[in-house]
Every structure is written in C-alpha cells, then in structure tokens.
Structure 1
Amino acid sequence: MQNYKATQRDTLFVTQEVFDLENHYQQLGFEDATDDLIRAIYAEAAKFAENVLAPINQIGDDEGCTFIDGEVKTPSGFKEAYRQYVDGGWPSMAHPVEFGGQGLPYSLATSMAEWFSGANHSWAMYPGLSQGCMETLKAHGTKEQQDIYLSRLIEGSWTGTMCLTEPHCGSDLGMLKCKAQPSDDGSYRLSGTKIFISAGEHDMSDNIIHIVLARLPDAPQGTKGISLFLVPKFNVDENGEIIERNTVKCGSIEHKMGIKGSATCVMNFDEAKAYLIGEPNRGLNCMFTFMNIARIGTGMEGLSATEASFQGALAYAKDRLQFRSLTGRKNPDGAADPIIVHPDVRRMLLTQKSLAEGNRALATYCMKLVDTTLYSSDENSKKQAEAKLALLTPIVKAFLTETAQEATSYGMQVYGGHGYIKEWGMEQLARDTRICTMYEGTTGIQAIDLLARKIMGSNGELLKIFATEIKSFCANIRGKSQFNAWANAIDSHVDEWIQMTNDIGQAAQNNPDELGAAAVDYLMYSGYVSVGYFWLQMAVVAQQKLDEGTSDEAFYQAKLMTAKFYFDRMLTRTRSHVSAIQSGADNLMQMDEALFAVGSE
C-alpha cells in the first residue's frame, strides 16, 4: 500500500503565493488567520491524514460496513479516528463562534479536506456530509433549529446527511413522492423511502440529522412543490437532550464497487418526526445551499484521488526496473533502468501531476470565491464572486472527477500488472473515485447546468465576467516574453469559448437537442481552458520566485516544466472537444432507438 503524504508545500504555494489568502483573510476580517497559523493548522492536518486516516484506508476497503437489523458498524478504526477528529476541533473550524465554532474562513478548512479524502476517501465522507448540513441550517434554519442542532453538528457529536434520491427518481427530483403531514405541535410526520444516502446510518456519532426533501399535502407537482425538512435519528427535547428513537431506520446498505467503508443506505421514514426548514415548497432552493457545497466537495474528492494516485505511481516508477532507456543506460549497475526514464511512463505521470496541481488551483480559487460570498461586506465583490462561482461550480464537480478517472487509471497502468493487485492500493483509488462522476449530479447533468442554466440562462453574462478576468490577466503579462505564447493561447481559447457558446445557442434555437449534444464536450473544454488560466498564473509566480532568488529552486523549476507539459499536451485536448461540438446533434439523435440493438441480439 502506497504511503499518502499531504501536499503541504503545494497547497501553501497555491493558497499563499498564487492567491495570497493571508491578505484575503485580513481584508475579510479574519485577523487571526495569519501565515503562521495557517502553517500550524496545515501541519496538524497533515499528521492526522498521514498517521490516523491513511493506515485504516485499506482496512475500510477490506472490512466494509456491517449491517445488522437496521444498525451499521463501521470498519475497525473508523470510530476511533472520528473521535480524534472531533477532539482535534476539525469539524468546527469554519463555523460561527456563537455556535461553538472557531470562526475561521471556509477556504482554510476546506483546503485540508483534500488531504483527508486522499488519505481515506470512505472515512472522509462521514464528516464531509455534515458540512453541507451545517451550511443549510446556518442559511435557512430557525434560531431554535440552530440552537439545538447546529451547535452539536459543529462540535461533531452529531453528524448530518442529505436525503434526496428515491427508488423511482434519481436526479429528477420533481418526481419524488416522500410526504410530510402537519402535526398539531407544529412539527410534521414524514413518510417515504430514500436511497443512496451516504452516512445515513453508522456508529460514529450520538445522533444523525437528516436533511430530507418531501412534499406537503397541498404541494403543486414538480420541483415547485418540494419542501425541506430536518429529521433527527433520535428525537430531542428543547435543550437538545436525546429522549427517544425517531421512526427513521436504515433498511439496508449497498454493496458497492468502492468506498466500501462508507455506509450507503436505504432510509425508511415511517411518520418520522420532522421539522420544516425554510418556506413551504421552497425546499429545492434551500437544498441548493447543501448541494453546491457538496458539489465542490465532490470535485475535491476527484482531486484527492488524482494526487494520491500520482504519489503512488511516482514512487513505483522510481523503483521499478524494466528495460533500458532508449538513449542509453541510466542505471548501469542495475539489471535495468527505472521505468521513470521511459517517455510513456512520463506521459502518464505528467498527466497526473499537471491535473493534480492545476485542479488544486482551480478548486482553491473557487474556495476563495466562497469566502467572498460568505464574509465580504462589499456588495459588488460578492455579486462578482457569486457569478464566477455559479459558472465554475459545475466545472469543478465534473472536470475534477472526470479527469480523476484518467489519473487513477494511469496510476494502475504505471504499475502494470501490479496495479491490478489489491495490496498496492492503486486499484482501490480507481474504484473509490468512480462514484464521484455520478453523485451530486452526473457529468451530463453538471454539463447541462453549466451550458443551459448558467450560461444560456444568463445570456452569456456569467461567462463574460470570468472571460473578462482571464483576458485582463493575459494582457497584463504580455510584457513577460517567456509567457507570451501561453498567454496568447489562453486568450484565443477564451475568444473561441465565447464564439462557440454563441454558435451552440443559435443552433439550439432550431433544435434544442443541440444543447444536450454539446454539453459534456463544452464542459470539458471549459475545464481545460480554466485550468490553463491557473497554470499560467502559477507559471508567472514561479518565474518571479526564481528571478528573486530562492532556496527552493527545484520546486519552482518543476512548476514551469509542468506548466509547459500542460500547454503543449493537455490544453490541446480542446481541439477534439471543439470538433465533437461542431459535429452537432444529428449523429446522436437520428438513429432510431430500435437500431441500437442491431448486431447485439
């Protein structure tokens, strides 16, 4: 099993040197979030990821969760690790002091979530779901709900879930049937079944707070008739003390391809005591608070797997001896050369590295935007951040998870046959991360959200705001001759991005299927260009550090060389996406569905 290491150096580069989060925190009023504090927190988080979570990762995969009569037992060490997580104060970092939080910025807490997931994806899902639950209650909960439930979620003694999917409807939430009947005491009796509920039942916390979508008796059909409810596993009194078991129970857990240490549950609600969150029939609007946090979190899971797979592949490539270099022996005293000398192995490693570091920058940029939306007193800055975040959230979710499929596959490939063997841990990464393109909305759904809802729905305004930022940066660095070609490449891609958007919109006026046919290629194109923009920023900073003189020359040289690989070999992938988009919808939609089975009967 490869040894996971938290990316403290690279995370500090992105957060402090590229995006200057320390100054960002000071401007938002977080005076205590100094560079020294950030480094100290990172160091402790790295220890927890490497020494507590990583050692029980394979145990979780081997044992999985145990289900007996509605109760779930997590794998050996999971419960104890969660207790250490709570004792260390990790759940409370980015939450208000008045509810027992530490009052630190969202981005500071979230940047380390990559390490927890990279060390142990299954375990990290338990506290990860709680964060969205907390944000929903902070944004939409009543004072009583916040006083009773939010404080205990923040301290970590209770955990949270979100319950959307039902057996007959996946992402089409307008079809859901779960019902909530009013009770005389102001609460509701909620009945129905939810499936695929991560962390729906487990033994790690004293109570589990379910955030559930359901319909009121007089609700209109479709998504406009959905309300949001809080349903505790255990009912509590007005002081938050547990008094009795609620009528919500886990019916079974799924047997999955990966993340086997994470309990994926069927949850049955039988007139369970429930409390309305927000306004009636506005539940989906409230749930978007949870879903947007979850989508960024899911993208981070893809990033985590990409990094972990790269680390394992790199270590193996340095040690594994196979064949001789095409340019002459590099290891004359050995029977063969290490496989890292071979061009194709380097192609895979550099693909992983360029994606991990570029995607980390994109994710960090989005976390910085979240900070602005949450804490800034400048209304114009908040509106700009909200617009950019609306555009980039589906890209973060889909692009980071889709590229993780390639990266984890390469992790196995570098190992050759050994990558397919369980003991090395590479095939577990591939299995664990496969779900990430599916939950919180599949890649196709994220792509439609990006193209139809966000870009076409804003008449291109959201894209224009981000495009203006990119083009301005490119214009400002053209005096740095070594980056002219890269700046021109990004600038021309942005022009193409805008033109392509207009072309798709015009085509869709005659045939709405053109939107769906173009969507995924459009999203992937958007991802490669966005990450290219951040690689350009990282390259500029790296060169500045080298010009100033630095004791860490190798780090910055590696940044420049990885940026070159990205611009030469990764950004060029946009060409195939453009060709696919321009081919239109006919090659997808003209075939009669009966013809799909011809030849396979």
Structure 2
Amino acid sequence: MPSYNAPLRDMQFVLHELLNVEQELKSLPAHADVDADTINSILEEGAKFASEVIAPINQSGDEEGCTYVGDGVVKAPKGFRQAFAQFVDAGWPALSCDTEYGGQGLPHLVNNAFYEMLNSANQAWTMYPGLTHGAYEALHAHGTPDQKKLYLPKLTSGEWTGTMCLTEPHCGSDLGILRSKAEPVGDGSYLISGTKIFISSGEHDLSENIIHLVLARLPGAPEGTKGISLFIVPKFLPNAEGKPGERNPVKCQSIEHKMGIHGNATAVINLDGARGWLVGEPNRGLNAMFVMMNGARLGVGMQSLGLSEVALQNSLAYAKDRIQFRAAKGPVNQGKPADPIIVHADVRRMLFTQKAYTEAGRAFSYWLALNIDRELSHSDEQVRKDSADLVALLTPIVKAFVSDNTWETTNLALQCFGGHGFIKEWGMEQYVRDARINMIYEGTNSIQALDLLARKVLADGGAKLKKFGKLIQQFVVENQGIDAMKEFIEPLMDIGDKATKLTGEIAAKAMTNPEEATAAATPYLRVVGHMVYSYFWAQMAKIALDKQASGDGFYIAKLATARFYFAKLLPETAGYIRQARGGSDVLMSLDAALF
C-alpha cells in the first residue's frame, strides 16, 4: 500500500522563500493580517487530515468504487462519508470562502496548497469538495443576493455540495450545440429538461443536498454559445426554512465505470422538468459558468501536481530500498548481493524527471493562485488588471502542461517499480489511471492549447504574453551579471527569445491560413510551458545558490534538480519548435476518406 507525507518543507520554500507570501499579502487588504505562522499552522493541520484520514481510504475506494443502488441512489465507497463529515466538522470547506457567508476569508493561495495535499492523498474523494467550492465561486460571482443568502452558507459549510452540468451525450467541448431546455414557469423559476453526462460528484450520499449548476437554453435563445443560460437546480428544493424539502426531478440514471477515479461518482443525470433558477443574465450562462470552469482548470492542475508528488514519494522510497545489479563504478553496498537501484543512471533520470516537473509545478501553480488573490483584492488597480491577464494567459498552461507532465511522471514512477508497479497492491497503477482523466476533462488539453494560442496570445497581439515576458526580462536584468547564474540565465533567455520568435511566425502564417494556428497549438503550448518552468527554476536556483553554503541538503538537492531540468528536460523544446513550424499541410492535405 502506498504512503503519503505532505512535502511541507518544499511547500514552505515556495510560499516563503520564493513567493515571499507574507509580504505579498500586506498589499491585499482582505488578507493583510495573514502571516507565515498562520499559513504554516493551517497546512500542518491539513497535512494530518490528508495523510491520516483520506489517504488510507484511497486504494480501498478505488477497488470498491461507487455503487449505483437503484432509483437514482448512489453510495460512495466505504469511509468516504465519514471522512467528509470530519472534513466538514473541522471547517475545511470554509477556508477561502467569504466571511459574510460563514467562510474564513483566507487567500486562495492557502486553499490551493491545501488542495494539493488532498489530491495527493485521494484525488477521487477530493473531487467532492473541490467541485462544491467551484459552485460556490460561480454563485458568489454571479448569484442574486437572495441566491447567495440561501445557497452560499450551505456550500461554505459543506452541508450541501455542488456540481457543474455541462456535457451532453452529443456535445462535450462544443457547448454551442447543447440541447437542454428551460421553460419559464411565471414565478421566476424554470422547468429544465435534458440529459447531462460525465457529471463528476453528480450523485452520492456524502451531503444532505446537491446543488447542480446546469447549462440550458431558454425559448427563442440564439444558436450557439450566445444562447446558453445557467440555472441552479437543487436535488431537494429548499423549503421556507432553507432546509431540503421536496425532491426535484433531477435524477441519476446511472454511473460510469471508468479507467480511474473510481471513488468519485461520474453520473448520467436526467432532468425531467426539474425546477431551477436563473443565474446571471439570460443567454450569458457561459460567462457565469467560466468562473467555475476556470477554477476547475486550476483544480485539475492541483490534482495533477498532487498525483505527481505522491507517485514521486513512493518511487523514490522504492528506489532506495530495491536492490538490483551493481553500480557502474563498482559495488556501493558491500553488505548485500546488489546495490539499490537509485545508484543507476537511468533510474535517477526517472526520479529527477519526476522531481523537476513536480517542484516546478508547485512553484508555478502557487504563484498563479497568488495572482488570483492579487486580481481579486490588490490595492492597486493596475496590479489587479495585470494579474487578471496573467491568470487568463496561464490557466491553459496550469491545466494542460501540468497534467501532461504528470502523465509522464506517474508512468515513470510505475516504471521505477518495474513489474511490481504493474501490480495493484503497490498503488502505482492507480496513480497512472487516475492521472489520465486530467488530460481530458475540464476542456481537453488540445482545447487548452487552442485557447492559449488563439484566444490568449494571437487575439490580443501577444499583449498578455508580453506581460509575462517582462517578468522574465526583469529577472534576467537583475541576475545577468552574476557568474554563478549564467547556467540558468542563458537558457532562460534562449527559450524566451525562441518562444517570442515562434509566436510571431505562427501569427504571420495564421493571417492567411487559420489552420496554421490549430496545427501548431499543441507543440506551442509545450514550448510556452517550458518557458514558464524555466523562469521558476531559474528563480529557485538563485535561492539555492545563495543558501547552499549552509550545508542544508534541501538547497543542494534543489540546485541539482534545477541543473537537471535545464540539461535534460528543457531541450525537448527544440523538437516542439520544429513541430510547430512544420505547418498544417502535412496534417490537412490527406482526404479523410483515405485515412
């Protein structure tokens, strides 16, 4: 059975040494009183919950899965309901929620770090509160005062949970063709009919009510995405006292039998004249739902980071313990018939790859969460705008680049175990299976690549990308004259220059042939993702260089990992740049009938 211990030292390194979060929060009036000790205490308690409460039921939850009892009733695996009750009793759902609705008002960054630990411990279980928080955010941003008063305290406390109902049997990423209908009743409510599929946490027995956020069309609505509205559809209609009352005809027809995340109920939901209430403006439902969708994309990044970390921990422990063959330079362990496999270069390649992608993913995702806090509450309007632009630009990167990397790292973790990795009891094959969905849901990684290149870069002439480029340039100028930093600054400058040149080339070709952008999007995302990781690895290397003389092995390992990243992982961008330049003709010239 795999084990998990929260990487508190590295989390604190990112928060306090890289991001200097206590000082940063002083510029955010809503969080100015939050200090490092408070953050550390919260994460230490969160680490206990993750490792002691939900990690022990991860493997058993995967083996048992959710059970469709019949008549719309679904039961979560053994222990899930009890763990959720502990989660609620401890006040964890309220961590970053608005104090007006019973929340603790802490930064999104703290919540983000907490969710990393939850996802390492048990991704399937963590999806229940994760989607609930997304529903809370959407209603907080777009709900009416009455809707907020009724629903937000219950979502904040965890008494009620939430979902988002987008996908239909005939439409996934292309929401413009969805068919669900909403008919006005005349009293401010609507009767909603349709079928939704792949609804994560769509039905379960963890909470007393489930609040579905459902996309549907009003009568006479425009075609496409401009005719979609968003509705609150509770499983049980709240009564006059705000408690679950009459059963609403929104019902689970079945649950999916999936490759991974077996402990989360992925439901087919039928709405048969279910009563719902409009959220936001008519025909502007995607605008409201994007609050939840973008939050979910960051959430997928945290799911992926969490899996990468726990897989690394277990493959590293195994590599130090498992003995096979002798080291190339001769025996290391004289007292045993073979040496631990960590002495072998290729095993170290696998471990270093996991470590480099995991630690860069942590630095990047925490920084992005800090920018969400800046966007929401910084005292300077320009900082709020710049932060919003950076979050918009990099959301596709945190979703797609991190999850792509985690698919590689979990597979490498399994490979470190050899044949044992292929056996269930060791837990590695579950991490691989669970990781695979992260590249698909909340917008496939291909959609993320198209979003990055077409909407976030080309649509504004690269303005948002230039804002990130200025951060790189500022760091380069500050450190260019430091001899010890050359090995990190030069490749950072190089990838920055190449990404800028590549962007210009694609933009020029796309002006005459839009297919050039779609053909280049996926390799382009890999290039920009590496540019982002290079920026964070260069910063972390600088801190490690300044502190390596202390003899602390943490900084020595950090510096070694930075060197590995620049020597062994960043060079893959050369191939991706060539792919992006390869054009669309080689993809599009063959008639579909000839495939």
In the superposition, the TM-score normalised over structure 1's length comes to 0.98
Give per-residue Cα distances to partners, 1:424-475, cap 9 Å, x unaligned: 0000000011000000111110000000011011111011111111111111
Task: Tell me what 2:171 maps to.
Answer: 169
- Which residue of the partner structure matches residue 15 of structure 1? 15
Find out whether 1:580 has 2:582 as its counterpart. Answer: no
**Cα distance between partner residues in 2 of 1:483 and 1:92:** 42
1:347 matched to 2:349? The reply is yes
Measured in 2, the distance between the counterparts of 1:574 and 1:25 equals 35
Unaligned ranges ≥5, structure 1: 597-601
Q: Does residue 452 of the first structure (1) align with residue 451 of the second (2)?
A: no
Say which SS state the counterpart of residue 333 (structure 1) adopts. Answer: coil
CA distance in 1: counterparts of 2:199 and 2:287, whole angstroms? 20
Partner amino acid, structure 2, of 1:418: H
> How far off its partner does 1:510 sit?
2.3
Cα separation, 1, equivalents of 2:273 and 2:8: 48
* AA partner of residue 224 (structure 2): G
The 8 Å contact of residues 43 and 113 in structure 2, kept in 1 or not, is answered as: no
Q: How does 1:193-342 map to 2 (within 5 A)?
A: 193-342=195-344
Task: List per-residue Cα deviations over 1:198-245 (Å, max 9, x = no partner).
Answer: 001000001000011100002000000000110000001243122211
Q: Which runs of 5+ in 2 are unaligned?
A: none
Other structure's SS at 2:26 match: helix
| Contact residue 310 and residue 352 of structure 1 kept, 8 A | yes
1:519-559 Cα distance to aligned partner (Å, 9 max, x none) = 00000111111011100111111222335x4xx71001110
- Per-residue Cα deviation, 1:353-376 (whole angstroms, up to 9, x for no partner): 000000111101100100011111
Partner of 2:443: 441
- Counterpart of 2:526 in structure 1 is 524
**SS at 1:112's partner residue?**
helix
Structure-1 residue corresponding to 2:370: 368
Shift of 1:594: 2.3
Distance in 2 of aligned mates of 1:61 and 1:132:
24
Q: Distance in 2 between matches of 1:27 and 1:195?
A: 43
What pairs up with 1:522-601 in 2 under 5 angstroms?
522-546=524-548, 549=550, 553-596=552-595
- CA distance in 2 between partners of 1:578 and 1:119 (Å): 36
Q: Structure 1, residues 124-181: CA drift from partner, whole Å, max 9, x if none?
A: 0000001110100110001111111011000000000000000000110000000001
Measured against aligned partners, the alpha-carbon deviations of 1:385-443 in whole angstroms (never above 9, x if no partner) come to: 01111111000000000011100110110011100000000000000110000001111
1:79 corresponds to which letter in structure 2? R
Equivalent position SS for 1:6: coil
Mapped contact 1:148–1:238 kept (Cα < 8 A): no
* Partners of 1:122 and 1:260 within 8 A in 2: yes
Aligned residue-pair number: 593
SS in 1 for 2:438: helix
Q: Secondary structure at 1:120's aligned position in 2? A: helix
Match of 1:139 in 2: 141
Aligned residue for 2:74, secondary structure, equals: strand
Q: 1:63 maps to which residue?
A: 64
2:458, 2:36 → 1: CA distance? 41
Q: Which amino acid aligns with 1:407?
A: T
| Percentage of matched positions with identical amino acids | 51
TM (norm. structure 2) is 0.99
Cα contact 2:27–2:379 (8 A) shared by 1: no
Q: Tell whether the 8 Å contact from 1:494 to 1:529 is kept in structure 2 after alignment.
A: yes
Alignment correspondent of 1:396: 398
Structure 2 counterpart of 1:524, one-letter code: R
Could you give the per-residue CA deviations for residues 258-306 of structure 1, whole angstroms, max 9, x where no partner exists? 0000000000011111000000000011111011100000011111111
Q: In the alignment, which residue of structure 2 is the partner of 1:49? A: 50
The one-letter code sitting in structure 1 at the alignment partner of 2:35 is T
Question: 1:185 is matched with which residue?
Answer: 187
Structure 2 Cα separation of the partners of residues 242 and 408 of structure 1 = 42
Shift, 1:24, TM fit? 1.5
Q: Does structure 2 retain, via aligned residues, the 8 Å contact 1:190–1:274?
A: yes
1:184 to partner: Cα distance: 1.9
Conserved? CA contact 1:232–1:246, under 8 Å: yes
AA in 2 matched with 1:588: L
